[in-house]
């Protein structure tokens, strides 16, 4: 397998990723900001969803589309989720082309190389770990974006083709989850930051699994996956709280967003009790985090 530490391969990977990500920084069209709140049913969750949607629209207008947060609990067609994807940056390239397939392979190499390289981050390098954590998340998001583009092309061919592509992508994500679980178990004696980075990769990939379940209309499975992803982020945040507050803050923010997403999916699955429970878990963890981070400063 190609490694990013190999100069010639690294240049190819960088060029392909740059090509497919070039338009990702374009300002957002504020009229496209939606949390799809009307698909939800539990009144308290709908109300919170609409309040957050209004806040996001105002953020978008005030920043001319350059700074927009994410929805809280949301419906399946929300445009600002914690794993919002950008399919427009490569909309002119067919997912059946050699260029697209090379980019998808390069994105997978990049992601796997970041996971392997995490072992070189020791506990004396929290600032480097913070940058590395962001790059690891970006690599997974970019890989997911390319997969989603391939899925959208399949849906245009036929509903069956779309379902088959989703099944293949979910199988890949579940296999990656098993590999990360095994890697974490095999590296239990390594440094705290290494363990954090692997746990973060596990949490981010679990969120991707949740989105894939949601696209399949399996909202109960999606809700459970979002909730598990939130719990993994809580564990990641706790692991680095005494090493780097910046890392801890970013993880607790992700955890709260994933509890929100779980609440929305439980609502869509017709389980208001679990939806309310996810919101309560979010509020509880937020309160605990505020106290713990204040004590750590």
Q: How do residues 142-183 score in pLDDT, each as one tens digit? A: 888 888 888 878 888 888 888 898 899 999 989 988 888 888
Phi, psi of 232 (to 5 degrees): -65, -40
Q: Could you give the C-alpha distances from 245 to 120, 122, 240, 249, 289, in angstroms and in order?
A: 21, 17, 7, 6, 11
Using the Cα atoms of residue 219, residue 287, residue 68 and residue 234 in order, give the sign of their dihedral. negative
Q: Could you give the C-alpha distances from 293 to 106, 203, 290, in angstroms and in order?
A: 38, 21, 5
For the chain, the structural domain boundaries read 28-81, 100-297
Q: Which pLDDT score is estimated for 287?
A: 93
Q: Which two tokens stand for residue 285?
A: 């963890």
CATH architecture of the domain with residue range 100-297 = Alpha Horseshoe (1.25)
Cα 112 to Cα 186: distance, rounded to the nearest angstrom: 16
Q: Which pLDDT score is estimated for 14?
A: 40
Q: Which pLDDT score is estimated for 282?
A: 92
Low-confidence residues in the chain, pLDDT < 50: 1-25
Q: Are 279 and 45 in contact (CB under 8 A)?
A: yes
CA atoms within 13 A on the CB side of 198: 26
CA atoms within 13 A on the CB side of 27: 11
Using the Cα atoms of residue 263, residue 266, residue 270 and residue 275 in order, give the sign of their dihedral. negative
Q: Which two tokens stand for residue 280?
A: 């309560």
β strands within the chain, DSSP E: none
Q: Which pLDDT score is estimated for 10?
A: 41
Q: Which pLDDT score is estimated for 91?
A: 52
Q: Which two tokens stand for residue 45?
A: 């969750």
Using the Cα atoms of residue 155, residue 160, residue 163 and residue 164 in order, give the sign of their dihedral. negative
Q: Which two tokens stand for residue 137?
A: 């998340």
Q: Which two tokens stand for residue 195?
A: 């363990």
For the chain, what is the radius of gyration of the CA atoms? 19
Q: Which pLDDT score is estimated for 19?
A: 37
Q: Which pLDDT score is estimated for 42?
A: 83
In the block, residue with structure tokens 């949301």: 74
Q: Are 69 and 56 in contact (CB under 8 A)?
A: yes
């Amino acid at each position: 397998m190609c490694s990013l530490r190999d100069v010639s391969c690294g240049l190819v990977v960088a060029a392909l990723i740059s090509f497919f990500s070039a338009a990702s920084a374009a300002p957002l069209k504020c009229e496209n900001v939606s949390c799809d709140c009307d698909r939800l049913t539990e009144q308290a969750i709908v109300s919170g969803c609409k309040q957050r949607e209004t806040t996001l629209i105002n953020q978008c207008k005030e920043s001319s589309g350059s700074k927009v947060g994410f929805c809280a609990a949301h419906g399946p067609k929300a445009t600002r989720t914690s794993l919002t994807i950008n399919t427009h940056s490569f909309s002119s390239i067919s997912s059946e082309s050699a260029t697209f397939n090379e980019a998808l392979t390069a994105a997978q190499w990049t992601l796997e190389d970041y996971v392997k390289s995490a072992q070189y981050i020791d506990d004396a390098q929290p600032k480097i770990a913070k940058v590395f954590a962001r790059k690891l998340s970006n690599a997974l998001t970019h890989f997911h974006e390319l997969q989603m583009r391939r899925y959208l092309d399949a849906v245009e061919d036929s509903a069956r083709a779309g379902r088959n592509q989703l099944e293949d992508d979910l199988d890949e994500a579940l296999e990656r989850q098993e590999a990360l679980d095994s890697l974490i178990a095999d590296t239990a004696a390594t440094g705290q930051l290494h363990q954090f980075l692997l746990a973060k990769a596990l949490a981010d990939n679990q969120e991707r699994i949740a989105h894939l379940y949601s696209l399949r209309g399996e909202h109960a499975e999606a809700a459970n996956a979002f909730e598990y992803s939130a719990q993994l982020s809580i564990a990641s945040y706790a692991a680095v709280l005494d090493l780097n507050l910046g890392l801890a803050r970013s993880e607790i923010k992700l955890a709260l967003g994933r509890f929100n997403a779980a609440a929305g999916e439980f609502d869509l699955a017709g389980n208001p009790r679990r939806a309310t429970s996810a919101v309560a878990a979010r509020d509880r963890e937020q309160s605990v985090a505020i106290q713990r981070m204040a004590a750590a400063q």
